[in-house]
Amino acid sequence: MLQSQSPLSEKPVDVRDLDATELKKKLTERTLTSLEITKKYIDHLKQVNPAVNGIVEERYSNALKEAEVADHLIAQGNEAGSLTGIPVTIKESFHVKGMHTTGGLHLRSRQKQSTDARIVEKLKSEGAIILGKSNTPSLCFCQETDNKLFGRTNNPWDVNRTPGGSSGGEAALIALGGAAAGIGSDIGGSIRFPAHFNGVIGFKSGRGRVSHAGSYPEVLHPLQQRMYGIGPITKSVRDARMVYQAIADHEYDTRMNVHDFTIYTLPKGSAILHEFIEQKLEEMIDYLNKFFEVGIETPPFFNESASIWQEVMSIDGGKSTAKEAGFSGTGSVITHFIKEKISGKSDYHVFLTWALIGARLFKPGKKRILEIERTIEKGDRQNEKFFDRNILVLPVYHRTAPFHGELYSEIFSIRKTFKKYMPFAAYANVWGLPSLTVPLGKDDGGLPFGVQFISKNGNEEALFQLGEIIEKGFARFQRCRLHDS
């Protein structure tokens, strides 16, 4: 057991179960040391990673040295910041000085970085200790976590199922208690799918709230930039708030009271959900009715959002992504798709090549791009009013974690089934809104699922307060212990 017995503590503490806030408290009280905590996490990661393949590059030796420094600072009362001595993991797509950023591509396997991403700089300045980097799909271009360089990440609750993506490695590690907290990114549910499938808390930041500098691949088109959000993946809502405050590029408003807000949910029948998820959502709404005015309304442009998301993701027909991957043209993409399907010997995962083929098929024309821009301009104005003192409750996905490959088939089908399955995730991306995902329950097979709360930039604190209400009285994070020794 990875437990610590402190002279000042009457019973053993399992650091895997503790959130970062509790660990910070114990560090301040000197009942645990950062070195002790860091060692426990490293030992646990070494034990569980073979089953899930979440960590793809580690820096354990450096982390232990940094933990010793953190303990010295704490002893002197000179903590660097809010995360001093707290071990975290981080998505592979963020540059960390001295580590690789590969995008899951063989051609980038030797690409060591000489600088930190902006969010990594902020984490380090707050005293966080980075244990390692977590797996993603190729170029983060998929909602399942698999690539030809590092292989597939498994859902810790059932290794035959997906952890989601593209922050799937990160969410799987936090679900296992492999770190105190983690960082992911989200341009199409990439924090929220993994949070939902792994039973953890995930926060997608709103448009322009967290710097993209040093995130790979770089998001260049303005319509895609507005959809992209970076945020924490954690064991508690209070940790999500704390880590978000550490990485955000804006002044955080703490003066909000969520009880000044109205909660809105979609009209009954708007969502195609598995029965147990629909039932649990109804139970949660009944619970919220005790504290809030709860209304029923479809938010502006909800029904159009999945199609807009798909077209924006295909804005250049996948040309920039294909170029980043090293393809010479459409023919090269198709050749590698066929090669991988037949022999499995391409350097490129079939998820990437098929997505690039689909991007070419769904590429919007110039006239359609102008229509999208006008719609977004109109929608932004309407959403500014709709979310002024309102929070929207949405599912994340219609079911719990599918078997490997099934999620991809549902979202990337030529039959455009994304229109049925993506509206819940796509909405916050298309409109650049912050979204908090919290655990809601488990299905009959023990697979977790979550719910998301959405509002506008500036209302982040209200989202966190609502999440804490659900966490306190309805459902909370439960660590996956299936792979413990």
- Non-local CB neighbours of 79 within 8 Å, separated by 6+ positions: 73, 85, 127
Determine which helix (DSSP H) or strand (DSSP E) holds 55, and give its type and residue range. strand 55-58
- Is 385 among the catalytic positions? no
Give residue for tokens 């981080």: 90
First to last CA, the chain: 7
**CB contact set of 295 (below 8 Å; sequence gap of 6+):** 262, 263, 264, 265
Phi, psi of 185 (to 5 degrees): -145, 160
**CA-CA distance, 386 to 415, in Å (whole number)?**
33
Write the CB contacts of 222 (distance below 8 Å, at least 6 apart in sequence).
none
Beta bridge partners of 196: none
Cβ neighbours, 10 Å, residue 478: 14
Q: Reply yes or no on whether 166 is catalytic.
A: yes
From the candidates 24, 91, 235, 456, give the one annotated as an active-site residue: 91
Residue type at position 260: D
Catalytic residue among 138, 190, 236, 305: 190
Give the closest residue to 351 by CA, choosing from 184, 118, 105.
Answer: 105
> Would you put residue 384 in left (φ > 0), alpha (ψ -120 to 50) or beta?
alpha
What CA–CA distance (Å, rounded) separates 136 from 318?
18
| Tokens found for residue 277 | 């998820």
Residue 439 in tokens: 């655990």
Helix (H) or strand (E) run with residue 454 in it: strand 448-454
Q: Which of 166, 305, 307, 455 is catalytic?
A: 166
- Residue 56 burial (CB count, 10 A): 21
Sign of CA dihedral 26, 44, 446, 233: positive
Helix axes 305-313, 423-430, angle to 10 degrees: 70
Q: Which two tokens stand for residue 390?
A: 């309102």
Distance in angstroms (rounded) separating the CA atoms of residues 89 and 134: 7
Q: Could you give phi then psi for residue 223, rounded to 5 degrees?
A: -70, -30
SS3 call for 428: helix
CA 465, 466, 471, 472 dihedral sign is positive
- Is 97 an active-site residue? no
What residues are annotated to the active site? 91, 166, 190
